[in-house]
Amino acid sequence: MSEACDIAVIGGGPAGAATAIRAARSGAKVMVFEKGSHGRDKICGDGLTPRAVAALDELKIPLDDAHLVDGLRMIAGKRERELPWSGGDRFPAHGAVWPRRRLDAALIDAAVEAGADVRFDVEAEPVFADDGSVSGVRTGSDTIDAGLVVAATGAPGKVARMLGAERDPNEPYGLAIRSYVDSPRHADRHIEACLTVKDEHGTWVPGYGWMFPCGDGTVNIGVGALSTMKGFKSLNLNHLLESYRALVRDSWEIGPNLERPRAWRLPMSSIKRHGRGWVAIGDAAGLVNPMNGEGIDYGLESGMLAADLFLADPHTAPAEYDRLIGERFDAFLQTGRRFAFLIGHPRLMRTGLRFAVGTDAVAKITLQVMGNLVDADTPGAAGRTLRLADRVLAIADPALRATRARA
């Protein structure tokens, strides 16, 4: 059987749904293939940065079902600093926590309402024409021709391998684990990040532990780590979560885990994110901030951009997409990856943390970074500081990478 559409999206997470909503609302014929069922969960911290809130606003997705938060509480050892999201022209002064089971359902429902043909429990893969371009998707024995195939498949797997869009093996990536707990502080208006987590041997871990209050009686508790630390391959995430849990047990008065802790990957690079007939968006394009592991906002933005460019000109869309994503994110993500190598060195990390949380001015910049509020267009102190930091990190980068194993 053969069908045809304008855009075939593989993956119905936030990135894929954003493409589908945007393109279908403009009248394009969109098909989405999601291997999970409707309402499937995604292992996540459920935190929405102000940047993500702005993207949801652009997509006209009401936040009624989400718990709004006013800022971030950063903890480093005994130091604690509570900072409000500042807001401004581009982003609102609030973020949110929205459990993924509900957020992703709201997004994919909006795609269906916009007219997209969403097929759940269907695994898809790209189909290649004789000239090497991607001409559509295959689902079992069915082939669907498409003007553009959008890989929105999350952390790289089979589809990424087929497209040559895997993560760069020389670049860092992350792993994170989460569960849910009951807490009387479930409606706290700040998300909390503890930047000083240690594994069961007392080794500093580049990453952070989080308490993200969901406002529904529960709190998302989790911890993430970067691959730049010594011994990363043998890091036991369950033990790491237990260590973090012990740290926050009293202050959050938490109960037992409400579900078995589950871990997943955080891709932070991609060898390729476009080709003839296809683009990769969201996690499939490695669009995760290495400094905080957040990627929902980038997924929504890249998803919308892919749709807009296809609607403007299907032929130039893939190359144009790659260029514009590069302009918007590449420099910042590169700084983040360099930073990941820096904090892979425990001594440098300790010094950095004293700076990050120690003074108001620096903490505010840290907040902007943690909120995904910085990119190529960021004016002011945060933008300038990040650009300066990148110049310094660029010089240190070869040494940091070379000394990684001995750290």
Query: What angle do the packed helices 317-325 and 296-312 form, to 10 degrees?
Result: 140
User: Is 301 an interacting residue with respect to ligand FAD (CB under 6 A)?
Assistant: no
Stretch that binds ligand FAD, among 117-125, 333-341, 348-356, 394-402 (CB under 6 A): 117-125
CA distance 60 to 53: 10
Region near ligand FAD per CB under 6 A, out of 22-30, 78-86, 154-162, 252-260: 154-162
Helices (H), 151-266: 158-163, 237-252
Judged by CB under 6 A, does residue 188 bind ligand FAD? no
Q: Looking at 60-68, 225-233, 278-286, 319-327, which segment touches ligand FAD (CB under 6 A)?
A: 278-286
Binding status of residue 61 toward ligand FAD by CB under 6 A = no
Minimum Å gap between C-beta 35 and ligand FAD is: 4
193 interacts with ligand FAD by CB under 6 A: no
Q: Which of 50, 136, 207, 222 binds ligand FAD (CB under 6 A)?
A: 222
Q: Which of 47, 71, 172, 215 binds ligand FAD (CB under 6 A)?
A: 47
Q: For 292-326, b where at least 16 C-beta lie within 10 A, e where not — what string?
A: bbbbbbbbbbbbbbbbbbbbeeeeebbebbbeebe
CA distance 354 to 404: 21
**Among 6, 46, 171, 199, which residue sits at the site for ligand FAD (rule: CB under 6 A)?**
46
Contact 267, 171 (CB under 8 A): no
- Please report whether residue 55 would count as binding ligand FAD according to CB under 6 A: no
Residues 345-364 that bind ligand FAD (CB under 6 A): none
| Residue 13 interacting with ligand FAD (CB under 6 A) | yes
Structural contact between residues 207 and 225, judged by C-beta atoms closer than 8 angstroms: yes
Query: 20 or 83, CB closer to ligand FAD?
Result: 20
Residue from 188, 192, 199, 294 that binds ligand FAD (CB under 6 A)? 294
Q: Which residues of 237-261 are buried (b: 16+ CB within 10 A; e: fewer)?
A: beebbebbbebbeeebebeebeeeb
192 in contact with ligand FAD (CB under 6 A): no
If binding is defined by CB under 6 A, does position 275 make contact with ligand FAD?
A: no
Q: Hey, is 128 helix, strand or coil?
A: strand
The phi, psi pair for 383, rounded to 5°, reads -60, -45
CB nearer to ligand FAD: pick between 213 and 293? 293
Q: Which H helix or E strand runs over 48?
A: strand 47-48
DSSP per position, 329-354 = IIHHHHHHHHHHHHHTSHHHHHHHHH
Q: Indicate the residue among 11 and 215 with the shorter CB distance to ligand FAD.
A: 11
Candidate list 5, 7, 12, 353; residue touching ligand FAD; CB under 6 A: 12
Alpha-carbon gap, residue 211 to 47, rounded angstroms: 10
Residue closer to ligand FAD by CB (options 216, 397) is 216
Residues 308, 148, 35: CA angle, nearest 5 degrees: 105
Distance CA 122, CA 316 (A): 29
Query: Residue 252 or 393: which CB sits closer to ligand FAD?
Result: 252
Residues that bind ligand FAD (CB under 6 A): 10-16, 33-36, 40, 42-47, 52, 123-125, 152-154, 157, 159, 176, 178, 222, 264, 266, 282-284, 288, 293-297, 299
